[in-house]
């Protein structure tokens, strides 16, 4: 799973959000490392909706513009959970290797 996709799904894990809300949440969750542009976000939202990971929760008109809210589906939650498990396993493996290096060679600073 690409990092922007991970953060989009994570942003929608707690509650439905509209596009700008997703952009703000992703920036916040990533500590400012990822700043999605509107075109990139909406292409991703369309793709994730087609894949069944998101659905449109509702639409509302605000200042004459349609605001669409997206929410995570059960499949989206499962995919996010699987990615979290994969990332944990990778981090544990890397941490174990780093411990082995430190044991073999001592601190390297």
User: pLDDT per residue over 49-78, tens digit each?
Assistant: 999 999 999 999 988 888 999 999 999 999
Low-confidence ranges of the chain (pLDDT < 70): 103, 106-109
From residue 11, how far is each of 25, 71, 75, 80, 109 by CA, in Å? 6, 9, 15, 11, 37
Q: Looking at the chain, how many residues does it have?
A: 109
Nearest CA to 45 among 56, 61, 30?
Answer: 56
The pTM of the full predicted model, rounded to 2 decimals, is 0.86
How many Å apart are CA 34 and CA 26, to the nearest integer? 7
How many Å apart are CA 67 and CA 46, to the nearest integer? 15
- pLDDT at position 108 is 58
- pLDDT at position 90 is 95
How many Å apart are CA 7 and CA 97, to the nearest integer? 27
């Amino acid at each position: 799973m690409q990092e922007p996709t991970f953060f989009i799904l994570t942003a929608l894990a707690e509650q439905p959000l509209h596009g700008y809300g997703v952009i703000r949440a992703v920036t916040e969750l990533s500590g400012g490392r990822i700043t999605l542009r509107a075109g990139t976000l909406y292409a991703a939202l369309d793709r994730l909706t087609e894949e069944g990971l998101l659905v449109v929760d509702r639409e509302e008109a605000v200042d004459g513009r349609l605001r669409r809210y997206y929410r995570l589906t059960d499949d989206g939650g499962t995919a996010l959970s699987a990615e979290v498990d994969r990332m944990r396993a990778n981090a544990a493996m890397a941490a174990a290797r780093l411990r082995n290096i430190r044991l073999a060679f001592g601190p390297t600073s």
